[in-house]
């Protein structure tokens, strides 16, 4: 969240080391695999990446780094010799600052933002804000989503209050259940079943907001593994996490984590954002051949002292 006027007495940033490992076992030899990786941390006003390292085994024949349309760093790797497994290990060292305190009651009425979002002029604002109001591959606005969101968005309610309410309603109404859904479970099924994982809850929140005409992005990242002293361990550690960033006017965005029912803070490390999971999935690939496919993912985020 951009916060140009950070007071001098703000708490110091937290320094993390994040390790993310993805391993595929193909069962049979695979002659070629292509992968797109969203594993480096994007430019972010509250983050500073000190070190970023990516190791892929077997050694890829091709590696190319570039930025995607949303400004996220992407890496393309191709292994072109027969291989039975693929190991993608990424390691980051990164400083994360907590956002400024969010005065939800002082935000503009949500209808005002809907109006502004439609009237955005200029390519930059349209790219950074306007494009997140429309449907995307995995998240389409709908009547059902609108109906679900409606109780939180009463007339002229400040958007901050409406968002906090929606966030905690989703957190209460929906059960975290890693077996209930897959990557391809459609949103209306999540809405009916009332269960899912962090990706589903992020998509659901975005779907609600887009149905209302409000811009919202999907954020892919990590959570700190061990909570600060005296706080509970978060849901979604040990894996890559997802939450939602919502435009609240000007250059301000507020990050909501419906999975944990709270605002994202210095415990959240942002890797990439896009319209939905399909835009920024950490590891996406196409392999030729292969039999079954075993997948092991581990994420470990520890606080380090320098």
Partner 1 sequence: MRPHWKLFLSSLGALHADRMAERWESARRLLRQNGVTYNVYGDPQGIERPWPLDLVPLLVPAEEWRQIEAGVSQRAQLLNAFLADLYGPQALIRSGRLPASLIYADPGFRRACHGLPVPGNQYLHFYAVDLVRDSDGSWWVLGDRTNTPSGAGYALENRAVLSQVLSETYRYCQVERLNPFFNAFREALLALAPGRNQPRVVLLTPGPFAETYFEHAYLARHLGITLVEGEDLAVRDRRVFLKTLSGLEPVDVILRRLDDDFCDPLELRADSSLGVAGLLQALRAGTVVVANAIGSGLMESMSFKSFLPSLCRHLLGEELKLPSVASWWCGQDAELAHVLDNLDRLVIKGANRDVVLDPIFGADLSAARKELLRQALRQRPWDFVGQERIVLSTAPVWQGTGLQAHHVVMRVYAAAVGGGRYKVMPGGLTRVAPEPGRLVVSMHSGGGSKDTWVLTPQRHHEIVGVRQPPQRDLRAAAEARAIEIRGELRTVGGDLPSRVADGLFWLGRYAERCDSAVRLLRGSASRLFDSGGVPGANDELDPLLRLLVWHNLIPAEMAKPETSVRELLPALKAAIFDPDHPSSLRANVQRLHRAAHSVRDRLSRDMWRVITQIDRESRGPAGSGEGAAMLQPLDELVTSFSALFGLEQESMVRGPGWRFLTMGRRLERAVQVVSLMRALRIADAARPVDGRQATSLSATLEVLLELAESFMTYRERYFAVVQKGPVLKLLLVDPDNPRALAFQLAILRDQLAGLSENSRRQATIYNPTATALAIVSEARDALTQPDLVRNAALLRTTLDTLAANLPEISNLLAHAFFSHAFARSA
Using the contact rule CB under 8 A, the part of the chain among 7-15, 25-33, 44-52, 185-193 near partner 1 is: 25-33
- Near partner 1 by CB under 8 A: residue from 134, 154, 156, 186: 134
Q: Go through the chain and tell me how many residues it has.
A: 306
Exactly one of 10, 43, 55, 62 binds partner 1 (CB under 8 A); which one?
A: 62
By the rule CB under 8 A, 273 interacts with partner 1: no
Q: Does 182 bind partner 1 (CB under 8 A)?
A: no
Other C-beta atoms lying within 10 Å of the C-beta of residue 235: 16
Interior/surface letters 50-87, b for 16+ CB within 10 angstroms, e for the rest = eeeebebeeebeeeeeeeeebebbbbebbbeeebeebe
Distance CA 271, CA 40 (A): 6
Of all helices (H) and strands (E), which one includes residue 279?
helix 277-280
Rounded alpha-carbon distances, angstroms, from residue 294 to 20, 27, 86, 181? 17, 8, 10, 18
64 binds partner 1 (CB under 8 A): yes
Binder among 76, 100, 168, 193 for partner 1 (CB under 8 A): 76
> At 6, which helix (H) or strand (E)?
none
| Options 101, 106, 121, 304; binder of partner 1; rule CB under 8 A | 121
Is 69 a binding residue for partner 1 by CB under 8 A? The answer is: yes
Q: Tell the smallest beta-carbon distance from residue 148 to partner 1 (Å).
A: 16
- What are the beta bridge partners of residue 56? 88
Using CA atoms, how far residue 258 sits from 6, 121, 153, 211, in Å, is 26, 31, 16, 17
Task: Work out which of 7, 11, 122, 229 binds partner 1, going by CB under 8 A.
Answer: 122
Q: Token match 């507020």: residue?
A: 254
Q: How far is the CB of 277 from partner 1 (least distance, A)?
A: 11
Instruction: Compare residues 239 and 287 and give the one whose CB is closer to partner 1.
Output: 287
Q: Give me the least distance between CB of 131 and partner 1, in Å please.
A: 4
Q: Does 203 bind partner 1 (CB under 8 A)?
A: no
| Stretch of 48-56, 92-100, 123-131, 236-244 lying at the interface with partner 1 (CB under 8 A) | 123-131
Q: Is 41 exposed, middle or buried (0-12, 13-18, 19+ CB in 10 A)?
A: buried
Q: Does 126 bind partner 1 (CB under 8 A)?
A: yes
Structure-block tokens of residue 222:
């990590």
Q: Does 287 bind partner 1 (CB under 8 A)?
A: yes
Q: Are 120 and 61 in contact (CB under 8 A)?
A: no
- Sites of contact with partner 1 (CB under 8 A): 24, 30-36, 61-62, 64, 66, 68-70, 76, 78, 80, 86, 118, 120-123, 126-127, 130-131, 133-135, 141, 278-279, 284-290, 293
């Amino acid at each position: 969240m951009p916060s140009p006027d950070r007071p001098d007495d703000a708490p110091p940033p937290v320094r993390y080391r994040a390790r993310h490992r993805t391993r595929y076992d193909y069962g049979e030899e695979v002659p070629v695999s292509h992968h797109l990786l969203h594993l480096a941390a994007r430019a972010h006003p509250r983050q500073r990446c000190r070190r970023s390292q990516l190791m892929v085994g077997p050694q890829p024949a091709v590696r190319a780094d570039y930025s995607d349309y949303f400004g996220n760093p992407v890496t393309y790797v191709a292994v072109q010799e027969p291989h039975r497994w693929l190991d993608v290990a990424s390691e980051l060292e990164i400083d994360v600052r907590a956002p400024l305190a969010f005065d939800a009651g002082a935000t503009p009425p949500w209808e005002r933002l809907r109006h502004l979002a439609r009237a955005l002029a200029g390519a930059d604002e349209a790219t950074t804000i306007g494009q997140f109001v429309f449907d995307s591959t995995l998240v389409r606005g709908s009547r059902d989503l609108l109906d679900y969101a409606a109780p939180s968005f009463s007339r002229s309610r400040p958007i901050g209050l409406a968002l906090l309410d929606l966030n905690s309603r989703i957190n209460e109404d929906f059960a975290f259940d890693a077996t209930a859904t897959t990557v391809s479970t459609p949103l209306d099924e999540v809405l009916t079943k009332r269960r899912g994982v962090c990706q589903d809850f992020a998509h659901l929140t975005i779907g609600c907001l887009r149905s209302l005409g409000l811009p919202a992005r999907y954020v892919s990242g990590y959570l700190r593994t061990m909570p600060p002293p005296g706080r509970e361990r978060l849901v979604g550690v040990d894996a890559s996490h997802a939450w939602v960033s919502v435009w609240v006017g000007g250059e301000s965005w507020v990050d909501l984590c419906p999975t944990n029912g709270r605002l994202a803070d210095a415990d959240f490390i942002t890797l990439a954002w896009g319209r939905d999971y399909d835009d920024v999935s950490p590891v996406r690939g196409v392999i030729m051949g292969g039999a079954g496919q075993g997948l092991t993912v581990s994420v470990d985020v520890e606080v380090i002292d320098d």
